[in-house]
């Protein structure tokens, strides 16, 4: 199955008080590059939305086989990234994983689990959950759902698509709380590093 991974990386990182969460060092490389590398290692084609093609985040990805998608209206919220990313999916891509790149607890093995689980039921939408069943990320959408991304607005992400396709929704539990652990503030980054 030909699956793409979309890294929505055009946001402002506004809660970091001047720093860029996606350029935070994780194991010697920027978080964004690490997450792209893990998606590539899981066998997916990788696409990243960015505020512009000359943004420092673009430089963090230069050594990787990642397609870069500029989002000039990124200030309009997460929906701008999702609209641009879905529209950029090439012909032949059968499904798209949305992987927030500020979730460094998600390992390549987690992504491979989700890819394999989706392949077993490729008509549904597969959403990762925490071990306790709390829904989170990543989420894999079949190609048939991608046209609906053009109607997204604001900062609510793909929630309207999940709601309108509720009967198609499937879940896959990952270990612990990693499906919900995104790092948006300096304090969250510090706490995460202290937990390693």
Q: What is the CATH number of domain 3-13+20-195?
A: 3.90.550.10
pTM of the model: 0.95
pLDDT > 90: percent of the chain = 81
Structure tokens at 90: 């090439």
At residue 20, the pLDDT reads 85
- Check residue 90 and report its DSSP letter: P
Please write the tens of the pLDDT for every residue from 112-136.
999 999 999 998 999 999 999 999 9
Please write the tens of the pLDDT for every residue from 132-178.
999 999 999 999 999 999 999 887 789 999 999 999 999 999 999 99
Please write the tens of the pLDDT for every residue from 62-107.
999 999 999 988 777 788 999 999 999 999 999 999 999 999 999 9
- Local confidence band at 18 (pLDDT 50, 70, 90 cut-offs): low
CA distance 169 to 36: 25
Omega within 30 of 0 (cis) for the link into 138: yes
CA distance 9 to 150: 18
Domain map of the chain by residue range? 3-13+20-195
């Amino acid at each position: 199955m030909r699956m793409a991974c979309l890294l929505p990386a055009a946001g402002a990182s506004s809660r970091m008080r001047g720093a860029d969460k996606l350029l935070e060092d994780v194991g010697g490389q920027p978080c964004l590059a690490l997450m792209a590398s893990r998606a590539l290692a899981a066998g997916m084609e990788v696409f990243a939305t960015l505020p512009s093609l000359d943004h420092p985040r673009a430089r963090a990805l230069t050594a990787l086989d990642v397609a870069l998608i500029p989002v000039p209206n990124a200030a309009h919220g997460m929906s701008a990234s999702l609209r641009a990313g879905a529209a950029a999916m090439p012909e032949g891509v059968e499904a798209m994983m949305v992987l927030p790149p500020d979730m460094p607890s998600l390992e390549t093995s987690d992504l491979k689990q989700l890819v394999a689980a989706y392949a077993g039921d490729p008509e549904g939408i597969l959403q990762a959950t925490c071990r306790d069943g709390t829904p989170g990320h990543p989420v894999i959408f079949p190609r048939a759902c991608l046209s609906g991304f053009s109607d997204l607005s604001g900062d609510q992400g793909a929630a309207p698509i999940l709601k309108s396709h509720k009967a198609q929704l499937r879940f896959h539990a990952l270990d612990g709380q990693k499906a919900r652990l995104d790092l948006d503030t300096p304090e969250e980054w510090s706490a995460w590093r202290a937990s390693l």
